[in-house]
Amino acid sequence: MLCKSRWMSFPTMLWSICCSRYCDIEKLSETAWKVFGHITGGWQRVQAICDYVHDRVEFGYHHARKDRTAFEGHEERTGVCRDFAHLAIALCRCMNVPARYCTGYLGDIGVPPDPAPINFSAWFEAFLDGRWYSFDARHNHPRIGRILMARGRDAADVAISTTFGRTQLVRFSVVTKEVTDPNVCSV
C-alpha cells in the first residue's frame, strides 16, 4: 500500500521512527550514527544498513528465540528473518528513516528452490521519497513473490501466532507457485 501523498500522517510517522518492543533504538543509536552517519541519507543509507545486518547476523532456524530484541540480535550475531528485520528497522529508525515490519510468505520464485519447506518470512519497509519500499536484510537482494500478511511496528504488532498457555503447532504448509499464464491477472 502506497501513501497517497508525499507525506504520511503524523501518527504513522511517529510510530515508524520510535522505539518499539523489539526495536530498542536507544541501545543502538550511537552505533548507528558511528557506522552510517557518513553515508548519504535515503536509499544509499538504507541499503548500507541492509548490507551491515546481512553481513553481521548469521541466519539459522536453530537460532530462533521469541524474545530477541534488535540490540540482542546485534550483539549475539545470530537470528532468523524477524531478527534481521528488527535490527534493520531499529538502525533505520536510529537514523531518522521511518521503517515498519512486514510479515508474510516468501516462496522460491525467481531463485533456486530451497529444500527447506516454505515458512513465514519477515522483511521491512522504509519510507523514502514519499513512499514505502521493501527491503530484506536477510536475503539482501530483490525477490519476487512476497505475500504480505500484515505490517506493524515490529513482530509484537503482527505476530504470526498469538497464543495463551501451552500450545504445539502440529503442522502447516505453504505452497507458492509462479503464475506464468498471461491471461491470469495479478492482485
User: What's the DSSP call for residue 115?
Assistant: S
Predicted confidence (pLDDT) at residue 176 exceeds the cutoff of 80? no
pLDDT in tens, 131-151: 999 999 999 988 888 889 999
Dihedrals φ, ψ of 62, to 5°?
-70, -10
Share of the chain above pLDDT 90, in %: 60
Q: What does the alpha-carbon distance between residue 168 and residue 30 come to, in Å, rounded to a whole number?
A: 40
pLDDT band at 112; cut points 50, 70, 90: confident
**Ranges of each domain in the chain:** 10-152
CATH code given to domain 10-152: 3.10.620.30
pLDDT in tens, 7-35: 566 666 777 888 899 999 999 999 999 99
pLDDT in tens, 28-73: 999 999 999 999 999 999 999 999 999 999 999 899 998 999 999 9
Q: Supply the pLDDT for residue 37.
A: 97
Q: What does the alpha-carbon distance between residue 123 and residue 18 come to, in Å, rounded to a whole number?
A: 18
Instruction: Judge whether 27 and 162 are in contact, CB under 8 Å.
Output: no
Contacts of 14 (CB under 8 A, 6+ apart): none
Confirm whether pTM is higher than 0.85: yes
